[in-house]
């Protein structure tokens, strides 16, 4: 009996199980998640290729995905890069076999993701970015956008002309841009305002220092007699150009309208009557003089010869602007009122060139010229103005190395160590800074073997004298430091906030070390490169938020270093050549070193393309110690 019950229960369970299976099969079991076999490895994410483009002119290739990792060569702006979307790491994108600018082979490395974009540049984008960079005085960035624009559309003259102007003003050569431009015909834009053209107002000037002013002739021939002399700075309108000869018309200095037929009509009716003009009594001049009055022939009087309003002269006898500043400003206003931007731009060039060299007046004139030239589509002129303005910002700084200050250094007067009482340096002005221009006493020992001939012997007396000298120098330095505890400083002063600072360009202090030694033979100090251990630094400094054009900077070196300041877009790529080594043959004493007397150009560095101000931080005691 029990066996039958067990068999029945098993049969029921079996039927229920079969029914459930049939039900699951019939219903599809959609909601059951599939089981993952433990033997099956997880599938790798599928490759996701992605095309990106270098979007910034200062993108660099790094060897590791870190901002401080070693990087090299600028990546060409606008370059196409094919990457895997999965290769992004810590804000960097890994690229393989990338042709970096300046390299003839492909390189592997990391580019910042922020330096890349999804879409390629168009010509208009590159051109607009170049114009914005130029107006912000970012000269190198503008150059790179211009090269990109020329690659995108080689038929456009504007970027090529601007590239050549930038290169020329920086004393560089761009043979590639010159070759591309030579293949193109005239462009649709306005003609270069500095190029002589029909309709221009030009100004009479001597052809050279040894010759006088040219005169107007009836024909373009030097053997033709001069019919009328012209005055210096006289305005003349260009009517025709024939090689080196130009036919011009005289214009009214007040209105710049041509003189001519209207002026001739203003001649009095009796101007040409024979017998001369009557005097107050109505009697002809000849009769008054007792002479015989000629008989009238009854015919009309011969017409008087009209004044010469047009004529030919040679083109070198024409200046693009007048030298007289009052006339230049007056004519500039007339062209502006008439909406003649081409003539206005040319006179603005004259205003800038006429201003004093390294001055705020010159900087303001260049800024106005840059703005209007871009607006008037005079791109080559705008490019040259931007480069000149950047150079002005680099050369107009006044640099002073200050030993120390007391009180409020912003209101302090500058004192020289050679002019104060060194025994009591704390006396005098409450707010004062010290310029340490004092020369130490003659050194007892020489600095090198070649100086030993005729040098003092290495006796105990000399050692004692040198020790006494050094102690005296050390005590003096302690008194000076106590009297002027705040320092040292590199004082940088501009007449007004430079345009580069207003446009957000960072300012860097560039420093370079050197060595000084005492020569027994000549009895003088000499400076020379640091024997292969030259230290160069470029330290970025913050421009004052107040906008004042006076900075007090902590110098990178406090002895035997030359320093200058410069606005740089990128310190790693911009040339750091402005800081040059001190010439060994030029320095006699630390005072001459401090005052820059070893250079004929005073406190300016002569570099490959410009002059830069500098300051020296001389070691206060350059004497060598006693030999071992």
Q: What fold characterizes domain 49-117? A: SH3 type barrels. (2.30.30)
Write down the pLDDT at residue 279.
Answer: 43
Listed as own residue / partner, the contacts of 249-254 with beta carbons closer than 8 Å and 24 or more positions apart are 249/309, 249/310, 250/309, 250/310, 251/201, 253/327
Domain ranges of the chain: 49-117, 123-182, 201-262+307-395, 400-617
pLDDT at site 616 = 72
The CA distance from 22 to 17, in Å, is 9
413-448 tens-digit pLDDT: 889 888 889 889 998 899 999 988 776 666 777 765
**Looking at 363-372, 385-394, 455-464, which range is the least confident one?**
455-464
pLDDT tier at 557, thresholds 50, 70, 90: low
pLDDT tens digit sequence for 316-346: 999 999 999 999 999 999 999 999 999 999 9
Q: Which residues contact 94 (CB under 8 A, 6 or more apart)?
A: 65, 83, 84, 87, 108, 109, 110
DSSP character at residue 258: B
CB 206 within 8 A of CB 212: yes
Q: Reply yes or no on whether the pLDDT at 514 is more than 50.
A: yes
pLDDT tier at 357 (50, 70, 90 boundaries)? confident
Q: Return the higher-pLDDT residue of 576 and 397.
A: 397
Highest mean pLDDT among 188-202, 282-296, 612-626: 188-202
Is 349:321 a contact under the CB 8 Å cutoff? yes
For residue 165, pLDDT over 80 is answered with yes
Identify which of 215, 217, 247, 209 has the alpha carbon closest to the alpha carbon of residue 230. Answer: 215
pLDDT at 108 over 90: no
pLDDT at 40: 39
Q: What is the 3-state secondary structure (H, E, C) of 410-443?
A: HHCEEEEHHHCCCCCCCCCCCCEEEECCCCCCCC
In this structure, are strands 432-435 and 413-416 parallel, antiparallel, or unpaired? parallel
Of 522 and 93, more confident = 93
In the prediction, which pLDDT does 114 show?
Answer: 92
DSSP-derived 3-state class of residue 310: strand
Confidence at residue 342, expressed as pLDDT on a 0 to 100 scale? 94
What are 233-290's pLDDT values in tens digits? 999 999 999 989 999 999 999 999 988 644 444 444 444 333 333 344 444 444 444 4
Query: Does the structure show a pLDDT above 50 at 137?
Result: yes
Q: What pLDDT score does 436 carry?
A: 80
The 3-state secondary structure of 312-374 reads: EEEHHHEECCCCCHHHHHHHHHHHHHHCCHHHHHHHHHHHHHHCCCCCHHHHHHHHHHHHHHH
Q: Which of 209, 113, 204, 136 is nearest to 498 (CA)?
A: 136
pTM comes to 0.76
CB atoms under 10 Å from CB of 256, counted, come to: 17
pLDDT at 397: 85
Of 62-71, 361-370, 444-453, which has the strongest mean pLDDT? Answer: 361-370
Residues linked to residue 415 through DSSP beta bridges, in sequence order: 434
* Residues 303, 305, 308, 313, CA torsion sign: positive
Range of weakest confidence among 71-75, 193-197, 596-600: 596-600
More confident residue, 209 or 279: 209
């Amino acid at each position: 009996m029990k066996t039958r019950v067990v068999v029945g229960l098993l049969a029921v369970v079996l039927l229920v199980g079969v029914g459930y299976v049939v039900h699951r099969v019939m219903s599809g079991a959609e909601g059951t998640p599939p089981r993952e076999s433990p033997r099956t490895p997880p599938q790798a994410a599928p490759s996701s290729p992605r095309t990106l483009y270098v979007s910034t002119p200062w993108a660099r290739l790094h060897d590791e995905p870190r901002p401080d990792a070693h990087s090299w060569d600028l990546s060409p702006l606008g370059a196409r890069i094919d990457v895997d979307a999965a290769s992004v790491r810590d804000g960097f994108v890994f690229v393989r076999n990338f042709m970096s600018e300046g390299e003839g082979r492909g390189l592997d490395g990391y580019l910042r993701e922020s330096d890349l974009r999804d879409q390629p540049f168009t010509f208009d984008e590159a051109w607009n970015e170049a114009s914005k960079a130029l107006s912000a005085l970012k000269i190198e960035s503008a150059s790179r956008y211009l090269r990109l624009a020329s690659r995108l559309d080689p038929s456009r003259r504007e970027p090529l002309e601007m590239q050549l102007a930038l290169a020329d003003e920086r004393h560089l050569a761009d043979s590639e841009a010159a070759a591309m431009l030579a293949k193109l015909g005239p462009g649709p834009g306005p003609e270069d305002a500095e190029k002589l053209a029909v309709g221009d107002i030009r100004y009479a000037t001597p052809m050279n220092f040894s010759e006088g002013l040219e005169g107007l002739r009836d024909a373009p021939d030097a053997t033709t007699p001069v019919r009328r002399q012209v005055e210096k700075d006289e305005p003349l309108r260009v009517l025709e150009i024939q090689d080196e000869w130009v036919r011009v018309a005289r214009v009214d200095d007040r209105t710049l309208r041509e003189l001519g037929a209207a002026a001739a009509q203003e001649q009095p009716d009796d101007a040409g009557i024979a017998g001369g003009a009557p005097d107050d009594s109505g009697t002809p001049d000849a009769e008054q003089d007792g002479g015989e009055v000629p008989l009238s022939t009854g015919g009309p009087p011969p017409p008087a010869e009209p004044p010469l309003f047009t004529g030919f002269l040679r083109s070198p006898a024409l200046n693009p602007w007048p030298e007289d500043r009052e006339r230049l400003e007056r004519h500039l206003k007339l062209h502006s009122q008439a909406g003649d931007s081409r003539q206005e731009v040319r006179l603005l060039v004259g205003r800038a060139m006429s201003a004093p060299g390294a001055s705020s007046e010159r900087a303001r004139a260049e800024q106005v010229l840059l703005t209007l030239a871009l607006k008037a589509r005079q791109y080559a002129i705008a490019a040259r103005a931007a480069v000149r303005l950047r150079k002005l910002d680099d050369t107009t700084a006044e640099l002073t190395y200050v030993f120390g200050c007391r009180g409020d250094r912003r209101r302090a007067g500058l004192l020289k160590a050679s002019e104060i009482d060194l025994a009591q340096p704390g006396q005098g002005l409450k707010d004062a800074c010290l310029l340490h221009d004092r020369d130490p006493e003659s050194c007892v020992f020489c600095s090198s073997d070649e100086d030993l001939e005729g040098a003092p012997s290495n006796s105990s007396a000399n050692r004692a004298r040198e020790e006494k000298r050094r102690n005296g120098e050390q005590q003096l330095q302690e008194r000076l430091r106590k009297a002027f505890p705040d320092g040292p400083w590199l004082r940088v002063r501009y007449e007004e906030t430079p345009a580069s600072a207003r446009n957000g360009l960072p300012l860097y202090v560039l420093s370079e070390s050197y060595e000084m030694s005492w020569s027994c033979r000549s009895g003088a100090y000499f400076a020379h490169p640091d024997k292969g251990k030259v230290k160069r630094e470029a330290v970025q400094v913050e421009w004052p938020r107040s906008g004042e054009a006076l900075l007090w900077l902590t110098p990178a070196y406090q002895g035997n270093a030359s320093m200058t300041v410069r606005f740089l877009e990128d310190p790693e790529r911009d040339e750091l050549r402005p800081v040059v080594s001190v010439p060994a043959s030029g320095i006699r004493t630390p005072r001459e070193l401090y005052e820059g007397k070893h250079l004929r150009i005073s406190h300016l560095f002569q570099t490959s393309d410009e002059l830069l101000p500098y300051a020296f931080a001389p070691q206060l005691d350059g004497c060598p110690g006693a030999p071992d």
